[in-house]
Structure 1
Amino acid sequence: MANAHRTFAVIGLGTFGSTVAKELARFGDYVIGVDISERAVAAVADDISYAVIADARDEAALRETGLGDCDVALIAIGEDLESNVLATINARMVGVKTVWAKAINRTHHRILSKLGAERVILPEEEVGLSIAQVLHNPRMRNFLSMGNGFHVVNFIVPEKLEGKALVDLALMDKFKLRSLGVMRGTDFLGGDAENPTLKAEDKLILLGRRGDLRDFAASL
């Protein structure tokens, strides 16, 4: 399993888990996929490093998969709360250093956090928040939570800002936002230090709190 890349285990190979597993493998990482369903395992077997049928509720079965050698385990089991919780515990028991887990609601989130999961994901809620932001303001294309109330957002520059220098927007003074840079097509133009002149349809990459980002969007 020696590899220049990191090693991951994905437990639960439904739509969410299989998507993560295949994408990690595409990046060149070593990925072990685990599911109790033969069909789910067969569906990803050709796309990841190693796919195995195993019951994640059974610590011994997980240990046999080599899971303990992985840098990170993602518990991607969906609606089966018991299996999800036991898989999280067992991943810890077999020696995985970092465990991420999928939750189905806030109560489940608290349970997984108490069990020591480094990060607990609420995929439907996180995607829902992102979609709502984009629907509300069509010029906001990507919405990424950074924790502690901060988000990174791509804004499509409107025609009214054409020809303005980035520094003239006074983002920090007016909106308490930090510019991370500007993308023009595939070119990165940098942030305030380079002070690019904006063109319509540029992507303005901003870091800030949701309320401040909303105020900036409203000003456009």
Structure 2
Amino acid sequence: MSPPPRSFAVIGLGTFGSTVAKELARFGNYVIGIDINERAVSALADLISYAVIADARDEAALREAGVGDCDVALIAIGEDLEANVLSTINAKMVGAETIWAKAINRTHHRILSKLGAERVILPEEEVGLHVAQVLHNPRMRNYLSMGNGFHVVNFLVPEEIGGKRLADLKLKERFRVRSLGVMRGTDFLGSEAENPLLKVEDKLMLLGRRNDLRDFAASL
């Protein structure tokens, strides 16, 4: 069952912001898109709930656009640091329930956190870390940070463990890693309790800290 639709304000409709806005709308959410650039707003006018040309540095403009009634405001403005910071302050002032904001560097990250942004995103850094992890280990198909140092990794089963039962790997005992299950194509084969037989190229979903996951990969 899909979660109920929510309301979002996306402030800044460059590549990052417009992508988020379109995806949120595609999921059935109410999305307000705001940008000072008429062309950026026009490009999304038929794809989201409401697209408006406005200067997010103006608190009254955000209030009039309905940002204060949204569940989440995403500040997606990129290089204009002043506009990014003022938009974050204004979104908070008009009453947006939750604020996410895009940062361009670590100093900017700290500023936005101090201003009350619940989540601060460094898109280039986060994507760079993701790409490096996957390039470093070709068997790692994808990974997701869960916070507190934990990650979920989608790991292709190599020949070294093909033909073994999942429980035979003793993941928790040897590596402090937990298996969330095994996928074969689009079929879910089960978790460690169900102890499926592994085949080469199955996808093994693992939960653990980065160093422990690395130790498991290095053991193969």
TM bracket, shorter-chain basis: over 0.9
Q: CA RMSD of the aligned region, Å? A: 0.9
1:143 counterpart letter in structure 2: Y
1: CA distance, partners of 2:158 / 2:151: 21
1:133 maps to which residue?
A: 133
1:204 maps to which residue?
A: 204
After TM superposition, give the deviation of residue 192 of structure 1 in Å: 1.1
1:2-33 residue CA offsets vs partner (Å, 9 max, x unmatched): xx411111111111111111011111111111
2: CA distance, partners of 1:193 / 1:41: 51
1: CA distance, partners of 2:26 / 2:154: 25
1:84 counterpart letter in structure 2: N
Alignment of 1:82-97 (within 5 A): 82-97=82-97
After TM superposition, give the deviation of residue 216 of structure 1 in Å: 1.1
2:112 counterpart letter in structure 1: L
1:105 counterpart letter in structure 2: N
2:36 counterpart letter in structure 1: I
2:173 counterpart letter in structure 1: D
2:104 maps to which residue?
A: 104
Aligned length: 217
Structure 1 length as normaliser, TM-score?
0.96
1:15 counterpart letter in structure 2: T
Structure 1 moving runs of 4+ over 2 Å: none
1: CA distance, partners of 2:21 / 2:150: 27
1:217 counterpart letter in structure 2: A
SS in 2 for 1:193: coil
SS in 1 for 2:164: coil
2: CA distance, partners of 1:22 / 1:43: 11
After TM superposition, give the deviation of residue 190 of structure 1 in Å: 2.2
Say if 2:172 is the partner of 1:160. no
Structure 2 length as normaliser, TM-score?
0.96
- Structure 2, gaps ≥5 residues long: none
SS in 1 for 2:78: coil
After TM superposition, give the deviation of residue 44 of structure 1 in Å: 1.3
Q: Percent identity?
A: 82
Say if 2:13 is the partner of 1:27. no
1: CA distance, partners of 2:142 / 2:50: 33
Say if 2:124 is the partner of 1:149. no
- Structure 1, gaps ≥5 residues long: none
2:175 maps to which residue?
A: 175
2: CA distance, partners of 1:66 / 1:120: 22
2:193 maps to which residue?
A: 193
